[in-house]
Amino acid sequence: MDWGMKNRFSRIIRPNDGRCVMLAVDHGYFLGPTERLEVPYKTIKPLLPFADSIMLTRGILRTSVNPSTDVPIVLRVSGGTSIIGEDLSKETITTSIQEAIKLNVSCLALSIFVGSKYEHQTLVNLANLVDSGEKYGIPILAVTAVGKDMVRDARYLALACRIAAELGAHVVKTYYCENFETVVEGCPVPIIIAGGKKLEKEIDALELTFKAIQDGAAGVDMGRNIWQSDFPVAMIKAVKSIVHENYSVKEAYELFNKEKKKEHKNPALTR
């Protein structure tokens, strides 16, 4: 890795502990105004001070994040599909590397859809993006997207993560699953986990985070389980305590309960 790549990478996976709390707010790129992310700046503003990095599209970056921020930007550069369109896997690269450099981003993110109709196209997208990233010293986060009907088991996720790493991704985002340690073992670059759909209770998401870290994840790229909580700031602090301070689930949940007393109910609810 050259200096620029190393420098940017160290802004994503923190060198002091090799961990990362990435706040995911890119959902609108195919889902439109997702619940509690309807007005992005209202969701983002209170959470940004507690995120190690933020993952979003250029449209939301430009309109909803103050350019004076020092939080590293992970720019989603794949898309071109919608939840009501023909096939979610038919993604292409939607933002140029020059634009990403102008936006001063620390990392580029792109989805791959292994096993889907457009698998080949998305894997070639990744390979091309890695080439561009290598040229300009920008690391690539590969997102292992799964279709509605696809099983998120260790065999499938290990396949998708390994392919992402083989094609040159510097970090891979996937889902937690049973036997997750085998997914980590087969992937030579750091793995971070998505939270997935909002779980019923906050403690469930904390448990998910804890288990993923125990099994070798480098951290989270979490969205809905943070900002769809009634107390998102308390939630990101609790997630962070597990990722960076090795809190147990019980300790993190105690922190959540303590912090939620200081927080007004989710401002994204009261637009």
Catalytic residues: 173
3-state class of 88 per DSSP?
Answer: coil
Q: Is residue 196 near ligand 5RP by the rule CB under 6 A?
A: yes
Q: Which of 55, 110, 138, 158 binds ligand 5RP (CB under 6 A)?
A: 55
Residue 183 interacting with ligand 5RP (CB under 6 A): no
Listed residue (145, 141, 33) closest to 89, CA to CA: 145
Tokens of 176: 């937690």
Among 221, 239, 256, 260, binds ligand 5RP (CB under 6 A): 221
> What span, in angstroms and rounded, lies between the C-alpha atoms of 83 and 104?
29
What binding mask, one character per residue, do residues 161-180 give for ligand 5RP by CB under 6 A, x or -? --------------------
The residue from 12, 21, 24, 255 that contacts ligand 5RP (CB under 6 A) is: 24
Q: Does 195 help bind ligand 5RP (rule: CB under 6 A)?
A: yes
Q: CA–CA separation, 31 vs 198, rounded Å?
A: 15
Place of tokens 């050259």: 2
Quick one: which segment of 44-52, 134-142, 193-201, 211-219 binds ligand 5RP (CB under 6 A)? 193-201
Q: Tokens representing 94?
A: 């939607």
Mapped onto helix, strand or coil, the DSSP state of residue 217 is coil
Using N-to-C axis directions, what is the helix angle for 202-214 and 249-260, rounded to 10°?
140
Pairing label, strands 20-24, 53-56 = parallel
- Determine the size of the site formed for ligand 5RP (CB under 6 A): 13
Q: What is the closest distance, in whole angstroms, from the C-beta atom of residue 131 to ligand 5RP in the complex?
A: 22
Amino acid at 18: G
Out of 54, 123, 194, 208, the only residue in the binding site for ligand 5RP (CB under 6 A) is 194
Q: At closest approach, how far in Å is the CB of 66 from ligand 5RP?
A: 21
Helix (H) / strand (E) containing 220: strand 219-222
Q: Closest distance between ligand 5RP and the C-beta of residue 197, in Å?
A: 7
Which one of 21, 47, 93, 143 is in contact with ligand 5RP (CB under 6 A)? 143
**9 C-beta neighbours (distance < 10 Å), count:** 19
242 forms part of the interface with ligand 5RP (CB under 6 A): no
Which of 224, 237, 240, 260 lies at the binding interface for ligand 5RP (CB under 6 A)? 224
When asked if residue 36 is in the footprint of ligand 5RP (CB under 6 A), the reply is: no
By C-alpha distance, which of 73, 114, 116 is closest to 95?
73
Count of CA atoms in the C-beta half-sphere (13 A) of 79: 21
Binding site for ligand 5RP (CB under 6 A): 24, 26-27, 55, 143, 194-196, 221-225
